[in-house]
Amino acid sequence: MFNGIFWQHLLEGGLPRGSAGRIALPVAGDNAAGKQIVFDLVSELGFDPVDGGTLAESWRQQPGTPVYGADLNAERAIRALAAASPERPDAFRAAG
């Protein structure tokens, strides 16, 4: 989740809960209680946590997907996660 946002936006982009323009950060995980802890942390840092699904679905927020580095609000981040393709763009494939 924190690798999907530009470091300066993470440092300076947090806003109070309920503010317009708050950036959403997807959180993926298999443990509901653990995910809630991370959701609370993300919110405390000034961002809107969105459910990124299970660890098996975490590819939806990796480099080359619509949500990666996009600074979207929660509604748009949820749509971007749903629109992600499991097919990696050429720029993000391992050479070999």
Is residue 74, in this structure, part of any structural domain at all? no
Helix, strand, coil shares of the chain as percentages rounded to 5? 45, 10, 50
Alpha carbons 81 and 61: distance in angstroms, whole number:
7
Tens-digit pLDDT profile for residues 72-92: 999 999 999 999 998 877 777
Determine, yes or no, domain membership for 83. no
Single pTM value for the model: 0.86
- Supply the pLDDT for residue 94: 73
CB 81 within 8 A of CB 26: yes
Percent of the chain with pLDDT over 90: 81
pLDDT band at 39 (very low <50, low <70, confident <90, very high): very high
**Residue 69: pLDDT above 90?**
yes
C-alpha–C-alpha distance, residues 42 and 95, integer Å: 34
Asked if residue 95 is part of any domain, the answer here is: no
Q: Give just the sign of the alpha carbon dihedral 84, 89, 94, 96.
A: positive
The boundaries of the domain holding residue 42 are 1-6+20-69
- Burial of 87 by CB count in 10 Å (0-12 exposed, 13-18 middle, 19+ buried)? exposed
Based on the structure, what is the number of domains in the chain?
A: 1
- State the pLDDT confidence band at 96, using cuts at 50, 70 and 90: low
Average pLDDT over residues 48-61: 95
Query: In this structure, is residue 59 part of a structural domain?
Result: yes
